[in-house]
Amino acid sequence: MGDVGIVTTRFYNWPGSLLLESGARLGPLTIAYETYGELNVAGDNAILVLHALTGSAHIAGRHSPDDRLPGWWDPLVGPGRALDTRRYFVVCANVLGSCYGTTGPASINPATGRPYGLDFPTITIRDMVRTQKILLDYLGVKHLVAAIGGSMGGMQVLEWGFLYPEMVSAIIPIAACGRTTPMQIAFHNVQREAIYADPDWQGGDYYGTPGPRRGLALARRIGTITYKSDPSWTMKFGRTVVDPGKYYQLDGQFEVESYLAYQGRKLVQRFDANAYLYLTKAIDLHDVSQGRGNYTEVWRDFPCSCLGIGISSDFLFPPYQVKEIVRLIKAGGGRARYRELNSPYGHDAFLIEFKQLEAIIKPYLAELRPDLSG
């Protein structure tokens, strides 16, 4: 087993104009991406990894020798690992609307010379996927062994199967859904309201100022609660307090409270509040049947093989949602199977349970393309 070493984030500047699902146009576009391994001559050994809400294109390796933090899926990418870079050309692009290099609300609007802010158009999961297709064409990728991702990444995976089925052999959605539920939308609503309520948000026109730090931090704290499970909170913190001397004081904190504050501060240091608004809205709008017909019918004759992976303790995207996807594909005559991560870590398990993920994903990929697994 080995890591992928030093990896450079690259940028593709696409001069065109993308027609968004809303009817608006956006362009030119910058797409930030990273690649691992080599594309074969046929251009058909690629695996596309799709990231979650506040993720980036940096899934493995380090950006410099002194970089302390490897990519967010580092244990799964590299020679001998689940996404074996001796065999596969692994690609990950930062999504449209984010703030890690791909065009988003913080990018400069060519029409004004200032950041887009709320002039940035509403985007959807399908818009993200169409942007990724532009990148793959540029890279010379002709066919994907698989598209794989968790949470918002899993939603993109599903749309790859609907938008470009001729280009994808298999999809691997993890802890995702075919359409968001009222509960999921409700959680995002209160997170956005936390940002809106911060006076420093300034109607989205806060660039050049510290911005809505308290609002974004609160949004992240709310989100973090949904990413965990009751057992995981108990295992990690129990009822331990930070300062026993303040136990009966209003400003006394349990360790779980301190942790939530830390998570909020950490996100503020690395993420753009407007991007958070746009991406959570894109998740809320996600519905594979939108504009396609009845939800249970759109899965009929689904052309891609599907490996759906749920998480036993997932509170935000419960395993029944992944099971539903698999059931509907099979009922419609397609090929699908379900596997589950048995984990106490809740939704975050797809960023933690690497050994279980490798045991599920690696043999599935070998089965898809035995010519690449020898």
Over residues 2-30, the pLDDT tens digits come to 689 899 999 999 999 999 999 999 999 99
Is 67 a catalytic site residue?
Answer: no
Distance CA 337, CA 82 (A): 18
In 37-163, where do the E strands start and end?
46-50, 89-93, 108-109, 114-115, 144-150
Is 107 a catalytic site residue?
Answer: no
| Residue 293 · residue 125 · CB < 8 Å | no
10-residue averages of pLDDT along the chain (374 residues): 87 98 98 98 98 98 90 97 97 98 98 97 98 98 98 98 98 98 98 98 97 98 97 95 92 95 97 98 98 97 97 98 98 98 98 98 96 76
Q: What are phi and psi of 342, to 5 degrees?
A: -90, 100
pLDDT at 147 (0 to 100): 98
Over residues 155-214, the pLDDT tens digits come to 999 999 999 999 999 999 999 999 999 999 999 999 999 999 999 999 999 999 999 999
Distance CA 66, CA 54 (A): 23
Distance CA 224, CA 213 (A): 16
Instruction: Tell whether 348 is in a known binding site.
Output: yes
Distance CA 202, CA 43 (A): 47
- Phi-psi category of 83—alpha, beta or left, where left has phi over 0 and alpha has psi -120 to 50? beta
Please tell me which residue in 98, 151, 232, 313 is annotated as part of the active site: 151
**Structure-token pair, residue 336:** 């699908």
Helix (H, G, I), strand (E, B) or coil at 36: strand
Q: Which residues pair with 173 in a beta bridge?
A: 149
Distance CA 230, CA 217 (A): 22
Distance CA 47, CA 294 (A): 30
Instruction: Reply yes or no: is the peptide bond before residue 28 cis, omega within 30 of 0.
Output: yes
Please tell me which residue in 74, 272, 284, 314 is annotated as part of the active site: 314
Q: Which domains does the chain have, with CATH numbers?
A: 10-178+288-372 (3.40.50.1820), 185-282 (1.10.1740.110)
Distance CA 76, CA 65 (A): 20
pLDDT at 3 (0 to 100): 86
Is 151 a catalytic site residue?
Answer: yes
Instruction: Tell whether 265 is in a known binding site.
Output: no
pTM: predicted TM-score of the whole model, two decimal places: 0.97
Please tell me which residue in 51, 188, 286, 347 is annotated as part of the active site: 347
pLDDT at 69 (0 to 100): 83
Q: What are phi and psi of 224, to 5 degrees?
A: -60, -35
